[in-house]
Structure 1
Amino acid sequence: MHEPAAPPPSACLLPGWMPPRGGTVIAGRDWDGVGVALPFGAQVLVLLGGRSGPCFGARDGAVIVWLVPVGSADGWPGGCRLIRGGEPLALPPPEQWLRPPRRGLTDPSALRAALVRGTTRHG
């Protein structure tokens, strides 16, 4: 009988909800998601800087998704894709994240402020 392959060393630093090699996870248990279309999402990421928590480019390559605390994905500006309450979300492997999920979630007030600031710059 073969032993299962050991997870990559970086998996030891990941939160319990993160599959070591990526995979589909259900929103609303440990986090909700807020997706912002590119290229605006890339601008928001720059504006957030070190205040950004975990985020990644969605598989379709058109959206950056930030993970925020459960229940905080309500009341966002138009144009944001909200992922919450039992919706599946495909998470890439940790090495493919823009900001890896090794520390807390993104502060929703910081993300909202960056969205407003970015909109004001291009509005």
Structure 2
Amino acid sequence: MADPDLLAASPTMCEPRAVGEEWDAVRVPRDVGRLALDILGPRSGAVIEDGTAFYWLLPVGSTDGWDLATTRALPAGTTLAVPLARRTVGPGPHWRICPGDDRLLTPADVLRAAVGDALGRGEQ
């Protein structure tokens, strides 16, 4: 099942990958995602941006019960367009933060706290 929020991407620029196999994913609207990324700083793992949202990759099973406003944990089996290595500009999905040997997954509790803080800042 494809995520309808993703922009169409050329197969040469992205690879379809199933959520829940190697990682889970959380979709965060772009404005909140920018704030959350600033809050996370170097604690953030890899982040995919598609022009309307940021997608964080988290350990498998860590998004169970995810319920933060304006965000969405993608269900297992959802297809996410994962950019090719070092694709850092659009159009279409690209890496906002590139994955690395020690920089792929973000701990769910760390992302939850940063997004919660970002949501609070947006209301001020």
The two structures have a TM-score, normalised by structure 1, of 0.75
Quote the Cα distance in structure 1 between the aligned partners of 2:75 and 2:42.
24
Identity across matched positions, percent: 36
Quote the Cα distance in structure 2 between the aligned partners of 1:62 and 1:87.
18
**Is 1:32 aligned to 2:24, yes or no?**
yes
- Which residue matches 2:53? 63
Quote the Cα distance in structure 2 between the aligned partners of 1:85 and 1:47.
27
Does the 8 A contact of 1:57 with 1:63 survive in 2? yes
Tell me the CA shift for residue 82 of structure 1: 1.5
Uncovered stretches (5+) of structure 1, i.e. residues with no partner: 1-20
Deviations 1:49-108 (A, max 9, x none): 0000011102xx100000001111222212112223111100112212111121241111
- Which residue matches 1:45? 37
Quote the Cα distance in structure 1 between the aligned partners of 2:64 and 2:49.
21
- Which residue matches 1:54? 46
Q: Summarize the alignment of residues 1-123 of structure 1 with structure 2, pairs less than 5 Å apart.
A: 22-58=14-50, 61-76=51-66, 77-95=68-86, 96=88, 97-102=95-100, 103=102, 104-123=104-123
Q: Relative to total residues, which structure has the larger helix share, 1 or 2?
A: 1
Does the 8 A contact of 1:22 with 1:94 survive in 2? no
Quote the Cα distance in structure 1 between the aligned partners of 2:39 and 2:72.
19
